[in-house]
Amino acid sequence: MLSFIAAFVDVVCYIALFRTFTAFVTGTLIILAAEIIHPDELWIMKVIVVFAFILSLFFWLIFMRQFKQWKYLRVVVLTMEAVLLGVFMLSGFLLSPLSGADSPETILVALFAVFAMAFQNAAMVQIFHQHVPTTVMTGNFVRFAISVIDIFGSGQAYAEKDKDAVFKTRSQLRHYCYVLAAFSAGALMGAIAYDVGGFFALICPVLILTALALYLWPRWHDSDE
DSSP codes joined into one string, 22-54: SS-HHHHHHHHHHHHHS--THHHHHHHHHHHHH
Question: How many whole angstroms separate alpha carbon 16 and alpha carbon 157?
Answer: 53
Please check whether residue 44 is in contact with residue 29, taking contact to mean a CB–CB distance below 8 angstroms. Answer: no
Distance CA 84, CA 73 (A): 16
Whether omega before 97 lies within 30 degrees of 0, making that bond cis, reads: yes
Walking along the chain (225 residues) 10 residues at a time, the average pLDDT comes out as 87 88 72 71 79 90 83 85 95 90 89 91 76 60 70 56 58 77 91 94 94 78 52
Report pLDDT for 80: 92
The confidence score (pLDDT) of residue 39 equals 67
pLDDT at residue number 43: 76
Rounded to whole angstroms, how far apart are CA atoms 222 and 212? 16
Contact 206, 84 (CB under 8 A): no
Residue 24 zone, left/alpha/beta (φ > 0; ψ -120 to 50; rest)? beta
Q: Which residues of 185-207 are buried (b: 16+ CB within 10 A; e: fewer)?
A: ebbebbbebbeeebbebbebbbe
Give which of 8, 7, 6 is closest to 202, Cα–Cα.
8
In sequence order, the 6+-apart residues with CB closer than 8 A to the CB of 151 are 166, 169, 170, 173
CATH class of 2-222: mainly alpha
CA distances (Å), origin 17, targets 35, 100, 184: 16, 9, 20
**Cis peptide upstream of residue 39 (ω within 30 degrees of 0):** no
Burial class, 103, CB count within 10 angstroms (exposed 0-12 / middle 13-18 / buried 19+) = middle
Query: What is the structure's pLDDT at 83?
Result: 95
| Whole-number pLDDT of residue 157 | 46
Q: What's the pLDDT at 173?
A: 73
Delimit the domains of the chain by residue range: 2-222
